[in-house]
Structure 1
Amino acid sequence: MKKHLKIIAVIGLGIASLTTSAMIPNTLSIKTEKHQKEIIIEGVGVTKTVEVTGDETIRIEGTNNKITIIGACDLIKIEGVDNVVTVDDVKTIQIEGTGNKVNYKKSSAADGKAKTSVAGVNNKITKI
């Protein structure tokens, strides 16, 4: 009986946290830490254009977001599904998820190529 109550409690907590996260609106927040700025974009179906100056980290979390980044940034980190990101200039791209696409025009990395790390399936990084 105690085992069943524990299982029900854990399931209830999971449903409560799922319900709470579903109520959070699409957001864009900016955090500044030690000379580097982190711009966080989270949500579902967010379409945003973000202007950057070179030392920013852009973190995108969610599904079906379309993000355009104007300028140069240090790092783009995507965690989610079916996000499309277009960026002028990026040094490092990290993707975790499925069906994400990053199109970049150039990289200010030393060798001219963005450093990439991809975990998941059907993710694509393209230099345009």
Structure 2
Amino acid sequence: MKKRMIALSVLCLGIITVATASELISNKKNNTITQAQPTEIVIEGVGISQKVEATGNETIRIEGTNNKITITGSCNAVKIEGVDNVVTVDDVKSISIEGTGNKVNYKKTSTADGKVITAVAGVNNKITKI
């Protein structure tokens, strides 16, 4: 029943929102480059199959049920809230999951110690290095 309520709620939303920000802000006055605020990409819905190209500064947030997301490139974080989502990512520093039956497969991490930072709440969630 809980899964159906979550799926129905997410289905009603059914919105894919992509919030973007510029990567770098250049200050020519004193020749400095300042890193912009991290970008958040939000994917919400049910049964979405999507490919996202990350450039290193993004947080990718997936909310919903039965989504299949492939993230190419490097990103700061992947955050999942939902049921039965499958995410494959090339390079990620942090993974957090809330829900049931979610799977994240990652190829590598760019953290200083070489270990991805994880936080998992729920049951049957799995994070695997491939």
TMscore range, shorter length: 0.7 to 0.9
Shift of 1:75: 0.6
CA distance in 2, matches of 1:124, 1:108: 20
* Structure 1 contact 26–44 (Cα < 8 Å) conserved: no
Shift of 1:28: 3.6
Shift of 1:88: 0.1
Shift of 1:68: 0.1
Q: Could you say which structure has the greater relative contact order, defined with CA pairs below 8 angstroms and 6 or more residues apart?
A: 2
Shift of 1:32: 3.6
TM-score scaled by length of structure 2: 0.78
TM-score scaled by length of structure 1: 0.79
* Structure 2 contact 40–58 (Cα < 8 Å) conserved: yes
Task: Map 1:12-27 onto structure 2 (within 5 A).
Answer: 22-27=11-16
1:39 to 38, 41, 45: 41
Listed as ranges, the gaps of 5+ residues in structure 2 are 1-7, 23-35
1:93 to 92, 95, 101: 95
Q: Between 53-62 and 23-32, report the one with greater CA deviation.
A: 23-32
Identity among equivalent pairs (%):
65
CA distance in 2, matches of 1:121, 1:21: 19
Which residue type is aligned with residue 65 of structure 1?
N
Task: Map 1:1-128 onto structure 2 (within 5 A).
Answer: 22-32=11-21, 35-128=37-130
Aligned residue pairs total 110
Shift of 1:120: 0.2
Computed over aligned residues only, the root mean square deviation of the Cα atoms, in angstroms, reads 1.9
CA distance in 1, matches of 2:87, 2:50: 10
